[in-house]
Amino acid sequence: MKVRLCANYFRSWWVFNFNWYRSVESIIQSHSIPCIKLTYEDDISNEDRTLQKIILRMFENFGAEHEFRADMKPKGLYKQDQERKYTNKITNWSTFIEELSNFDFENRAFSAF
């Protein structure tokens, strides 16, 4: 199954979420709460277990590294979407990109929050 994207809706969604994340970061900073900033592109979607390494480092900071094993994996779960190229997942990819460009939003749309 392929999806059809709407550039205007995507831009609205992106701006809303960007602002929400900035407000959460501001609250965290104002309370001096220690945190690690993660991005989907750099930390979650990659194959080199970056997220697990970050979580392990977080546990170490709290002295609880012995409670977390880097090899922990959920059983019975698999990636349902096997298509790696996002351009093959969307029916109107070129039109979507063109519309984002018309909004002067193409570069920002794919940057991390």
The pLDDT value recorded for residue 46 is: 66
- Which residue matches tokens 């990636």? 79
The pLDDT value recorded for residue 56 is: 76
The pLDDT value recorded for residue 11 is: 92
Stretches where the chain sits below pLDDT 70 are: 1, 43-46, 48, 64-75, 77-81
Instruction: Judge residue 89's burial from the number of C-beta atoms within 10 Å of its C-beta, 0-12 exposed, 13-18 middle, 19 or more buried.
Output: middle
| CB-CB neighbours of 43 under 10 Å | 19
The pLDDT value recorded for residue 65 is: 62
The pLDDT value recorded for residue 95 is: 93
The pLDDT value recorded for residue 102 is: 93
Is this model's pTM higher than 0.75 or not?
no
What are the residues whose beta carbons fall under 8 Å from the beta carbon of 69, sequence distance 6 or more?
Answer: none
